[in-house]
Structure 1
Amino acid sequence: MNFRLLATALFAFAILTPASAQSPDLAAIARGSGTPEIPGLKMVWLAPWGDVAKAHPWRNIIVHQTEGPAGSARGGAQEQAKNPTRRGVTVWVETDGTVYWAVPETLVPTHTDGADRNDNKYIDNGPTFHQVNAVTSIGVEFAGNYPDVTRGATEAQIAAWRVLVKVLRARYGIPLDRVYAHNWIDYKDARYCEGCALATLARQWGE
């Protein structure tokens, strides 16, 4: 009888306890260091987080898509880890949703073409022209749109992005309106709008 009473009490407590009290605090995790487990992400750490106060002062997020086959994010991230400042990004996302953190957050990979778009085709380029560039922006690369560059991200990539963009924004204090597609700030491949769907999703998801 006592066991039944205890089980009933525990069940009632679980029902009455707010979901927020049971779920991990993503914002708190995002401000940590090392190689934390992040709920909703399969993260492969090629470079661990350090003290966020000593990280490069990232002010923007730029979404890229690479014309590579499924499975290419791992190789790209590993090459990036060997040569962090080469052309590439800090974070790579595979078609199965696996996220590779490739570069120490104190280093700046070479990405974007200088934020030279100023035609206001997608967004107001007044605040971005020559400002939303590699030095100010952390880059995220989504792999797997070969051989059809117009192919969108996979469902697994979109699910990972939903969590990842929150983590990046929370870690570096980046406002929602500073999530950009590569094509919004640079003149890119005319065949498709690189990163546009993913950046738009992030802004639609909101806070």
Structure 2
Amino acid sequence: MNLRLLVAALGVIAILAPAAAQTPDLASIARGSGTPEIPGLKMVWLAPWGELSKSHRWHNIIVHQTEGPAGSARYGAQEQARNPTRRGVTVWVETDGTVYWAVPESLVPTHGDGANRNDNKYIDNAATFHQVVGSNSIGVEFAGNYPDVTRGATEAQIAAWRILARVLEARYGIPVERVYAHDWIDFKDARYCEGCALATLARQPDF
């Protein structure tokens, strides 16, 4: 009886092992090109990944939030795709968690206001003042905090961010301490701290 159970178990392992070996890990996917399927993310590729060696050299991630209503990420991403260097970002996240990659990673959209925050209100700004700017930071925009700007990201957006943040970090070699909220580096809206909760989550090792 025990021998039959052992043989059956070995058979199951033999079946499962090749499938497991063929499942690429997130880091491997993040170093690829084209329009890969990323487990756990619903990605809409308006611009595919190119060869990583030819991408812009991104050193930071800046988290933004827009006051647009639900559905505005799709519109914003489409407008960004039409005019990549307009004021906006590379990646847009809808309230339902859909992620839009809008701009070729070799191009630099206009975002951030020059890292003009030097008051140490949220973080030590010694290393960010006039340093963490749009030209060296890939931007991610979370849509949907209209009409209440203090409303946080949706559960679906947070679930998507959990994966997206790690993909960006792995693809461009960005350490977690280089994920910044808009309001950590730039003076913005006094009513709320834009991107702060999401950036804080991304910096947590267990996020």
Report the TM-score when normalising by structure 1: 0.92
Q: Check conservation: 1:27, 1:170, Cα contact below 8 A.
A: yes
**Segments of 4+ moved more than 4 angstroms:** 4-8, 12-15, 19-23
Gaps (5+ residues) in structure 1?
A: none
Distance 1:137 1:66 in 2: 18
Task: Specify the alignment match of 1:9 in structure 2.
Answer: 10
Gaps (5+ residues) in structure 2?
A: none
Q: Check conservation: 1:24, 1:39, Cα contact below 8 A.
A: no
The alignment covers a number of residue pairs equal to 202
Task: Specify the alignment match of 2:168 in structure 1.
Answer: 168
Task: Specify the alignment match of 1:70 in structure 2.
Answer: 70
- What secondary structure, in the 3-state scheme, does the structure 2 residue paired with 1:167 have? helix
Distance 1:156 1:126 in 2: 34
User: How big is the shift at 1:24?
Assistant: 2.8
Task: Specify the alignment match of 1:159 in structure 2.
Answer: 159
Task: Specify the alignment match of 2:129 in structure 1.
Answer: 129
Distance 2:165 2:66 in 1: 18
Mapped pair 1:28 → 2:22:
no
Task: Specify the alignment match of 1:81 in structure 2.
Answer: 81
Task: Specify the alignment match of 1:146 in structure 2.
Answer: 146
Q: Check conservation: 1:176, 1:206, Cα contact below 8 A.
A: no
- What secondary structure, in the 3-state scheme, does the structure 1 residue paired with 2:127 have? coil
Report the TM-score when normalising by structure 2: 0.92
- What secondary structure, in the 3-state scheme, does the structure 2 residue paired with 1:126 have? helix
Distance 1:146 1:7 in 2: 57
- What secondary structure, in the 3-state scheme, does the structure 2 residue paired with 1:32 have? coil
**Per-residue Cα deviation, 1:89-130 (whole angstroms, up to 9, x for no partner):** 000000000000000000000001110000111111011001
Distance 1:83 1:188 in 2: 24
User: How big is the shift at 1:10?
Assistant: 3.1
Return the letter of the residue paired with 2:191: R
User: How big is the shift at 1:69?
Assistant: 0.2
RMSD of Structure 2 on Structure 1 (CA): 2.1
Task: Specify the alignment match of 1:113 in structure 2.
Answer: 113
Task: Specify the alignment match of 2:52 in structure 1.
Answer: 52
